[in-house]
Amino acid sequence: MSSVPVDPVTLAVLKGRLEQIADEMDATLYRSAFNPIIAEARDACHGLYHATTGDTLVQGTKGLPVFVGAMAFAVKAVIDKVARDGGLEPGDTFIFNDPYDGGTHLNDFRLVRPIFRDGALFCWLASVGHWLDIGGNVPGGYNPKATESFQEGVRIPPVKLVEAGRMRGDVVDILAANSRVPMSNWGDLNGQLNALDLGERRLRELLDAYGDGVIASAFEAFSERAEALMRAAIRALPDGTYAFEDVLDNDGIVDEPLTIALDLTVDGDTMSLDFSRSSGACQGPINISYATTVAACYVALKHLFTEVPANAGCLRPIRFTVTDGSILGARAPKPVAGYTETILRLIGVVFGALAQADPTRATAAPFGTINALSLAGHRADGSRWVMFSFFGGGLGGNPESDGLNHANNPISTATIPPAEILEASYPVMFTQWALRPDSAGPGAHRGGLGATYEIEVLSPGGAEVSLLGERGKVAPFGVAGGGPAALNRFAWQTAEGWETAPMVSKITNVRLQAGQRVRLDTPGGGGFGNPLARSRGDIERDLRLGYVSGEAARTLYGWAGVTTGAAA
């Protein structure tokens, strides 16, 4: 199909129309999904992708940020499969979760559908959503002890779920047989199909209204525009190389820190991100694939350069250097379930390097761990229950404000399930759901506060607990003179009292009896600017509200007053 020139006004109109399609696909899945990680936590994403390259053409404005960058690789995996095996037909929909071929981890199921026009492939629609359980040693998939992907769950390469409009029951049966909660997955799968059906309908209406050539030209124009904006943003940074590194506590198997190191070079309107000095692949599940590394850098840059639109064009001025087979360029079957922890560290490292290049755009480190916590057991009637959730912490101080208290990580816009929904769904009782005083990094603008969650098991048979988290040994850093936040802490009750894990935030198979509790204290964000420069009024407000203790105010902020309030 030939491309046609599109005037700037029509472009502005089409931008809104196309984003609306992706947004609507997101909304459809959120509302019809079964598991709270999609329905409440919005761990999903939809978009339109280039017919031959798989490049991102249009993304929803609400999709999970990390998927925005990773989806292009997922579509490319299907494109490669079709090139290899052939057989692509209108009405097909592919499904897969292979993390080495499209990024992230096994729980993220991708559905990829070709859109044909006049017998030729026009573009792809894709949907990704986090399914609750896909087998493996640990319910929920976050197995901190995994040393091979086989212990994390079942791995599905791109296969046809729908063939020329006909659902393949055999594929559905394979998926069902490999999960602890097949009905939940079945519900989510239908939700994703709903989203694709709707997106396809809307896209066809738009193509009919404007003509395929106009839409194809608009896609290219959007990419060019994103590229131009990204180049303008890079050009505004001073040329030079900025080095920054941070570490992960351990991989859950060997208690040694793992380095994520970045040499970021700005050269005119191009940028190079060189991760060569990072650690090699590790035994535990915190490796990530090259696709995931690129996706995470994209998230970091998009948070700093918010004016650049979300499509493939913005990555054109950027070069990535990642050592093949390293922790950031892992290959099968290295375990990857805990990929979130590694990309959070990686995003922080990009923030840290760019804070040197341009402090006016700086953000101190966010809390930096998702704390994937699962509690599982059996109800009185013998049915199995798995409560699985991620938890919040503080964002980093920044030139504009203190960090946000109890927020989500930069890779996600997920809302946390309400305690009441969790208590109504599982035999647990929260005994604390609170901000955590003294958890924020000090600064002229301090970090946001982390949180404390304490959960008591109610089911008579007790529960089995696993956690995959980070920031237990090295705290979220401050920038521009700001200080680090508090460390992540995890503890559980035994007959002898509270216990903690040797790997701090990574543990499996902790047995709890009914009436015993687990407690998670999450980090705040790092501070921005010298804490001694924080206004006395703000310090006293922090004391009055109990965000900061009197002792911390004296030692960290040089406050000389006397505590009288209810400060913790």
Partner 1 sequence: MSPAPGAIVGVDVGGTFTDLFFYDEAQGRFRTAKVPSNRGDEAVGFLEGLKAFGAVADLSSIVHGTTVGTNALLERKGARVGLITTRGFRDVLEMRRRDRRHTWGLWGDFVPIIDRDLRLEVDERVLADGTVRQAVDEGQVREACRTLLGLGAKALAIVFVNSYANPENEMRALAAAAAAWPNGDVACSAQILPEIREFERTSTTALNAYLQPVVGSYLEKLDGALQTEGFTGRFHIVQSNGGVMSTQTARRLPVRTALSGPAAGVIAAAAIASAAGFPDVITGDLGGTSFDVSLVVGGGTSLAAQTTIDFGMVVRTPMIEITTIGAGGGSIAHVDAGGLLGVGPESAGSRPGPVAYGGGNTRPTLTDANIVLGRINAERPIGGKLARLDVEAATRAIEEHVAGPLGLDVMSAAEAIVRVANAKMAGAIRLVSIERGHDPARFAAVPFGGGGALHVGALIKEVGLKAALVPRYPGVTSALGCVIADVRHDGVQTVNLALDGLDAAALDARMIAEADAARAVVEAARLSVERIDVVFELDMHYVGQTHTVSVPLPVTAEGGTTGVDEAVIRAAFEQAYQASFSRLLPGLGIRIVNLRTAVIGRRPHFDLAALAPGPDASLERARLPSRRVWFDGAWHEAAVYARLDLPVGAVIRGPAVLEQPDATTVVDPDLTARVDALGNVIVERA
Nearest to 104 by CA among 411, 368, 507, 345: 411
- C-alpha to C-alpha distance for 347 and 366, rounded to whole angstroms: 9
The window from 84-92, 319-327, 398-406, 482-490 that contacts partner 1 (CB under 8 A) reads: 398-406
Cβ–Cβ < 8 Å for 487, 511: no
Give yes or no for residue 402 binding partner 1 (CB under 8 A). Answer: yes
Q: How far apart are CA 207 and CA 122, in angstroms?
A: 10
Asked if 253 and 283 touch (Cβ cutoff 8 Å), the reply is: yes
Selected range binding partner 1 among 10-18, 91-99, 334-342, 377-385, rule: CB under 8 A: 10-18
Question: Which of the ranges 30-38, 71-79, 244-252, 333-341 carries the binding residues for partner 1, by CB under 8 A?
Answer: 30-38
Instruction: Indicate whether 566 belongs to the interface with partner 1 (CB under 8 A).
Output: yes
Other beta carbons within 10 angstroms of residue 202's beta carbon come to: 18
User: 222 and 306 in contact (C-beta within 8 Å)?
Assistant: no
Q: Which part of the chain contacts partner 1 (CB under 8 A), choosing from 119-127, 211-219, 279-287, 426-434?
A: 426-434
Told to check if 380 binds partner 1 by CB under 8 A, we report no
Least distance in Å: CB of 313 to partner 1? Answer: 10
User: In residues, how long is the chain?
Assistant: 568
Asked if 383 is part of the footprint of partner 1 (rule: CB under 8 A), the reply reads no
- Residue 555 beta carbon to partner 1: minimum distance, rounded to whole angstroms: 22
By the rule CB under 8 A, 97 interacts with partner 1: no
Our finding on whether 178 is near partner 1 (CB under 8 A) is no
Q: Which stretch binds partner 1 (CB under 8 A): 192-200, 269-277, 378-386, 474-482?
A: 192-200
**Nearer of residues 30 and 490 to partner 1, judged by Cβ:** 30
Q: Which stretch binds partner 1 (CB under 8 A): 85-93, 317-325, 390-398, 555-563?
A: 390-398
Instruction: State the nearest-atom distance from the C-beta of 449 to partner 1, in Å.
Output: 9
For residues 144, 147, 151, 152, the Cα torsion angle rounded to the nearest 10 degrees is 50
Among 156, 193, 216, 353, binds partner 1 (CB under 8 A): 193
Verify binding: residue 433, partner 1, rule CB under 8 A: yes
* 513-536: burial string, b at 16+ Cβ within 10 Å, e else: eeebbbbbbbbbbbbbbbbeebee
Distance CA 86, CA 160 (A): 12
Dihedral sign of CA atoms 218, 224, 228, 234 in order:
positive
Q: Tell me, what amino acid is at 30?
A: Y
User: What H or E segment, with its residue span, contains residue 27?
Assistant: helix 8-32
**Cα–Cα distance measured from residue 568 to residue 565, given in angstroms and rounded to the nearest whole number:** 9
The reply on whether position 334 binds partner 1 by CB under 8 A is no
544 near partner 1 (CB under 8 A): yes
Among positions 22, 40, 175, 512, the unique one binding partner 1 when judged by CB under 8 A: 40
| Residue whose C-alpha is closest to residue 363's, from 534, 143, 495, 529 | 529
Nearer to partner 1, 69 or 252 (CB): 69
Out of 307, 380, 496, 535, the residue judged to bind partner 1 by CB under 8 A? 307
Of 523-542, which residues contact partner 1 (CB under 8 A)? none
- Count of residues engaged in binding partner 1, rule: CB under 8 A: 88
Closer by beta carbon to partner 1, 97 or else 389: 389
Q: Give the interface segment with partner 1, choosing from 7-15, 73-81, 151-159, 249-257 (CB under 8 A).
A: 7-15
CA distance to 356, 359, 479, 514, per residue, from 352 (Å): 7, 10, 7, 44
Q: Which region, judged by CB under 8 A, interacts with partner 1, from 108-116, 228-236, 337-345, 478-486?
A: 228-236
- φ and ψ of 527, to 5 deg: -90, 160
- Decide whether 116 or 430 has the Cβ nearer to partner 1: 430
Residues contacting residue 54 through CB under 8 Å, at least 6 positions apart? 72, 73, 74, 75, 76, 78, 79, 124
Of 285, 377, 396, 529, which one interacts with partner 1 (CB under 8 A)?
396
Q: Please, what is the minimum distance in Å from the beta carbon of residue 2 to partner 1?
A: 23
In contact, 482 and 442? CB cutoff 8 Å? yes
Q: How far is the CB of 41 from partner 1 (least distance, A)?
A: 9
Report in angstroms how near the CB of residue 194 gets to partner 1 at its nearest. Answer: 5
Nearer to partner 1, 401 or 509 (CB): 401
Query: Which range, of 6-14, 133-141, 212-220, 459-467, touches partner 1 by CB under 8 A?
Result: 6-14
Q: Shortest approach of partner 1 to residue 423 CB, angstroms?
A: 4
- Residue 3 is a binding residue for partner 1 (CB under 8 A): no
Contacts with partner 1, 451-470, as mask; x by CB under 8 A: x--x---x------------
Q: Which long-range contacts (CB under 8 A, 24 or more apart) does 486-490 make?
A: 486/436, 486/438, 486/439, 486/440, 486/450, 486/521, 486/523, 486/524, 487/523, 488/367, 488/369, 488/371, 488/520, 488/521, 488/522, 488/523, 489/519, 489/520, 489/521, 490/371, 490/518, 490/519, 490/520, 490/521
Torsion of Cα atoms, 145 then 150 then 153 then 158, to 10°: 140
Q: Beta partners for 454? A: 432, 519
Could you say whether residue 215 binds partner 1 (CB under 8 A)?
Answer: no
**Per CB under 8 A, which of residues 350..369 are in contact with partner 1?**
363, 366
